[in-house]
Chains A and B, each alone.
Chain A
């Protein structure tokens, strides 16, 4: 591990001031916030992340879960994944989020990992994690080892010629379907970012994974008021029954009335270069009969743009079946 300076800022403003000296924003930057440390320390040991300064934000008062005036929920940046998953309001009103969180990592890691850290979780692509191999995300311009190499677990949606790394988060898939908002405090003040705008497609700049700027501190995430009567499911398919990243997953928030789907929010995990909200699947569901044929059409629509690599063509069918089954389960719940 490279040497670094360990800093504990006294308040949010100090944290932002320190981080604003960084040359790039959070991921891969020379100044990094640390909360749970479960991604950052792992990558620092591999010399994939080499910050010269590590800013501990665990003592900042960012660990609360509170109701918002509009009936939604405010989730602090350093709320641990386990606390969020077991919070009564989350279990009652945002079940898809609780299910997604509990399907990720292990009990120990969920006790450490935080809301903001999970938003910035980095890919599990083996070439990104191996400094001996070319990787455009880790070292722009060196090439992608995964396209001609081992890509079974990698993305089929949102890829580019430069990068096919999949986003590994489960929490983010649920937050995409719940239309969360990410709140950031930065050098120019505070701002709110709709979830769909937060993560970037790799394009020609796979090293840039979010729209965060140097100095930006994620302070909290808000969820809109729950949709009364909505049925929620997170379904995750993987190589092992537990403690494994998704090959394909689906987050479904569904409203059914009179045998018809009246509202749908759909996101996919394990298959996209970012948490994959599917407006196409949603459009294929709304005002249609709540039956298997409709769900299959929605799944076809969600995967229409999929681009398989040499080893991960199976993910197209897997993701379709995953979404179809999740929709069926939600509608019958």
Chain B
């Protein structure tokens, strides 16, 4: 499938050296993932209380997802979350996996223009919907105003939560939200920053809102 090229531009130097950090991690991690999945499957089948509904299409299911305006035809295990599909099948790794349980917000993306936790949703539930990730709102050479203002305000430290913060903040611009800092803090409470960059994140969001 030619449209499934990795969307993250690889630095040319990394290619010359042979293996990028991401390629290395993917390859090395793959061994562990396969082993873990096999183990889990065995446990699942042994522990299944006799007669759970016999899975008919429990194998791979065809689905077409529209991400950042581009259609992707995929074969997915029904268990695949929207988050894992974006990162592992479509290779859009800007969306991050933090807690994987809807508690941290690192996985925030937009579905039909509204922010959601992609970790708590099945990819199959989103056929035909408009999915937008951090890669879809701006690019290094043409940043979204929220991205540019996060940079200007230093709204991050390690950066792991940043794409989720920005996706939340961009969605917030269109939501009912009062003018005060407290209003913004309340509506951003679903995005955790372990570095504690909150004051600068807040400043960035308020700056963009005031300009809008």
User: How many angstroms from the CA of A164 to the CA of B27 in the assembled complex?
Assistant: 47
Docked complex: B31-73 residues within 8 A CB-CB of A: 41, 44, 48-49, 51-58, 61
B115 in contact (CB, < 8 A)? yes
Give min CB distance, B122 to chain A, whole Å.
Answer: 7
Residues of A within 8 A of B55 (CB): 3-5, 52-53
What is the size, in residues, of chain B's interface with A at 8 Å between Cβ atoms? 44
- A170 CB to closest chain B CB (Å) equals 14
Complex interface: chain A residues within 8 A of B81 (CB): 41
Q: Mark A165-176, 1 if CB is under 8 A from B, else 0.
A: 000000000000
Pairwise interchain contact B122-A34, C-beta atoms closer than 8 A: yes
B residues 84-125 near A (Cβ < 8 Å) are 100-102, 105, 108, 114-117, 119-122, 124-125
Confirm or deny: B74 has a beta carbon within 8 angstroms of a beta carbon on chain A. no
Main secondary structure of the interface of A (DSSP, over half): loop
Q: Which chain B residue has the least Cβ–Cβ distance from A105?
A: B190
Cross-chain contact A6 with B78 (CB below 8 angstroms): yes
| Contact partners of B120 in chain A: CB under 8 A | 36-38, 41-42, 109, 112
Residues A5 and B105 in contact in the complex (CB < 8 Å), given A31-B53, A107-B190, A111-B115: no
Contact of B190 (CB < 8 Å), options: A1, A6, A45, A106: A106
Are A30 and B52 neighbours in the complex by a CB distance under 8 Å? yes
A232 within 8 A of B: no
Which residues of the other chain, B, contact A37 by a CB distance below 8 angstroms? 120-122, 125
Whether the pair A5, B58 counts as a contact (CB closer than 8 A) is: yes
Q: Does B148 contact A (CB under 8 A)?
A: no
The number of residues on chain A lying at the interface, defined by a beta carbon within 8 Å of a beta carbon of chain B, is 37
Q: Are B189 and A5 in contact (CB under 8 A)?
A: no
**CB < 8 Å: which of B49, B105, B122 contacts A108?**
B105
Give how many A-B residue pairs fall within 8 Å (CB-CB). Answer: 115
A139 to chain B, nearest CB (A): 10
| CA gap between A226 and B190 in the complex, in Å | 32
Per the 8 Å Cβ criterion, residues 141-179 of B in contact with A are: 168, 171-172, 175-176
B185 within 8 A of A: yes
Q: Are A107 and B121 in contact (CB under 8 A)?
A: no
Q: Are A3 and B79 closer than 8 Å at their CB atoms?
A: yes
Does B186 count as interface, using CB distance less than 8 angstroms?
yes
Query: By the criterion CB–CB under 8 Å, are B189 and A112 in contact?
Result: no
Query: Is B125 within 8 A of A56, CB to CB?
Result: yes
Asked if B57 and A5 make an inter-chain contact with CB atoms under 8 angstroms apart, the answer reads: yes
Interfacial residues of chain A within 95-124, with CB under 8 A of chain B in the complex: 105-109, 111-112
B105 touches A2 (CB 8 A): no
Assuming A37-B122, A41-B120, is B52 touching A243 (CB within 8 A)?
no
Question: Quick check: is A329 within 8 A (CB to CB) of the other chain?
Answer: no
**Residue B203 at the A interface, CB < 8 A?**
no
Tell me, yes or no, whether A51 is within 8 Å of chain B by CB.
yes
Cβ-defined contact, B44 with A45, below 8 A: no
B202 CB within 8 Å of chain A: no
Does B137 belong to the interface (CB within 8 Å)? no
B54 touches A242 (CB 8 A): no
- Between A and B, 27 residue pairs with Cβ closer than 8 Å are A2-B48, A3-B55, A3-B78, A4-B79, A5-B55, A6-B124, A34-B125, A37-B122, A38-B117, A41-B119, A41-B121, A42-B101, A50-B44, A50-B52, A52-B48, A52-B52, A58-B125, A106-B190, A107-B115, A107-B187, A108-B105, A108-B108, A108-B117, A108-B190, A109-B120, A241-B186, A243-B190
Interface set of A (CB-CB < 8 Å, partner B) = 1-6, 21-23, 30-31, 34, 36-38, 41-42, 45, 50-54, 56, 58, 82, 86, 105-109, 111-112, 241-243
